[in-house]
Amino acid sequence: MIDIANLAAGKTGKEEGPAIEVTPQAVAAIRETFEKEGMKGGLRLGVLGGGCSGLSYQFKFDAKERPKDTVLEFDGVRVFIDPKSLVYLKGMTLDYKQTIMENGFVFNNPNAKKSCGCGTSFSV
């Protein structure tokens, strides 16, 4: 059973930390994009129906949080998550990988039972 009060506070009930983690590499990439584009606000993470595996990650910049959002902060970078998406994202780590073969954000989601090859959609 999900404790709505803890979920709204960004806690999963399994640990005392935030509902999701954002690695220092991802924080740096988000901050760099904000500065480059002259953006203010935060990063909105969410889940939408659709995609190869049934659910797709929503990843966009938003000027401000919505009233029911969970707002998390990682080294000055704010992350907004709506309550419905938080159910699917709790325990997730957002990372940023930069290698010779690929460059971009990576969603490490323990709730995903199956994901597509590009890593942007999943099923539970």
Comparison of pLDDT for 105 and 49, the residue scoring more: 105
Comparison of pLDDT for 2 and 116, the residue scoring more: 116
Are 81 and 72 contacting, i.e. CB atoms less than 8 angstroms apart? Answer: yes
Whole-angstrom distance, CA of residue 109 vs CA of residue 113: 9
Are 11 and 18 contacting, i.e. CB atoms less than 8 angstroms apart? Answer: yes
* Overall average pLDDT of the 28-50 stretch: 91
Sketch the domain layout of the chain as residue ranges: 4-123
pTM: 0.76
pLDDT category at 4 given cuts 50, 70, 90 is: very low
In the chain, alpha helices (H): 4-8, 24-37, 83-89
Q: Which contacts qualify for 106-109: CB closer than 8 Å, 24 or more apart?
A: 107/57
CATH domain 4-123 topology: Hypothetical Protein Aq_1857; Chain: A; (2.60.300)
Mean of all residue pLDDT scores within the chain: 81
